[in-house]
């Protein structure tokens, strides 16, 4: 069941009307729908802002973790490359314990 709508009007300059129309078109909305969404979202801005900040913080943590993983990978790959160039023998765990007298 839909609610009855009530018409309203606002005064805009030609430039304001163009800016609203362009912004609405970019989002695939009519100017009226765009204005309603923007106006109604601002009434929930504190809840929305907190949720957006939390999502942003999660994203930043994810990016940080990915960068940290990449740094670790590059360090390991470089170490492995140096090992292969050196021709050094690798030891099993048992051989390393024996060599250390454990």
Per-residue H/E/C for the chain: CCCCCCCCCCCCCHHHHHHHHHHHHHCCCCHHHHHHHHHHHHCCHHHHHHHHHHHHHHHHHHHHHHHHHHHHHHHHHHHHHHHHHHCCCCCCHHHHHHHCCC
Position 2 scores a pLDDT of 62
% residues pLDDT > 70 (the chain)? 91
Position 45 scores a pLDDT of 55
**Per-residue pLDDT tens digits for 51-77:** 888 888 999 999 999 999 999 999 999
Confidence of residue 25 (pLDDT cuts 50, 70, 90): very high
State the average pLDDT for the chain: 89
What is the reported pTM?
A: 0.43
């Amino acid at each position: 069941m839909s609610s009855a709508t009530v018409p309203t009007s606002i005064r805009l300059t030609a430039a304001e009307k163009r800016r609203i129309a362009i912004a609405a078109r970019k989002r695939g909305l009519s100017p009226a729908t765009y204005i309603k969404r923007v106006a109604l979202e601002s009434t929930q801005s504190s809840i929305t802002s907190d949720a957006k900040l939390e999502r942003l913080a999660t994203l930043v943590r994810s990016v940080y973790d990915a960068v940290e993983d990449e740094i670790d990978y590059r360090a390991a790959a470089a170490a492995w490359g140096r090992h292969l160039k050196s021709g050094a023998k690798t030891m099993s765990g048992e051989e390393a314990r024996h060599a250390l007298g454990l």
